[in-house]
């Protein structure tokens, strides 16, 4: 399902370095080829903690508040996405399918 030839993969990596429009499917194929050193679920929890730390400091009162660095937040959210992608890949679930099913669930929940 997520297999791609190495020549096509290299072309895709080069394109991704210069193109901001990456589909879920392209992202998932590329992430699946990267080495995995940690359990994805533990990775998600660790990265979520890093996001929580950034948001916590942004929500402090008064002069103790440290405005959130959106570039840093983007990087940490990207790390979460990477681990979610690896977890989905372990169970042969596409990100596109996850997004579609989530929209169906939320639409049903909020339209009632």
Per residue of the chain (112 residues), give pLDDT as tens.
Answer: 333 445 555 555 555 656 668 888 989 999 999 999 999 999 999 999 999 999 999 999 999 999 999 999 999 999 999 999 999 999 999 999 999 999 999 999 998 6
CA atoms within 13 A on the CB side of 58: 12
Architecture of domain 6-110: Orthogonal Bundle (1.10)
- Return the pLDDT at 1: 36
- Return the pLDDT at 49: 98
| Rg for the chain, CA atoms, rounded | 17
- Return the pLDDT at 21: 82
- Return the pLDDT at 78: 96
């Amino acid at each position: 399902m997520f297999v791609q030839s190495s020549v096509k993969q290299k072309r895709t990596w080069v394109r991704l370095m210069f193109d901001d429009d990456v589909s879920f499917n392209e992202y998932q194929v590329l992430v699946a080829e990267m080495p995995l050193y940690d359990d994805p679920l533990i990775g998600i929890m660790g990265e979520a903690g890093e996001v929580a730390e950034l948001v916590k400091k942004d929500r402090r009162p008064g002069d103790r508040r440290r405005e959130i660095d959106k570039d840093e937040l983007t990087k940490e959210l990207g790390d979460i996405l990477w681990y979610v992608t690896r977890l989905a890949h372990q169970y042969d679930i596409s990100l596109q399918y996850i997004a579609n099913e989530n929209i169906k669930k939320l639409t049903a929940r909020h339209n009632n």
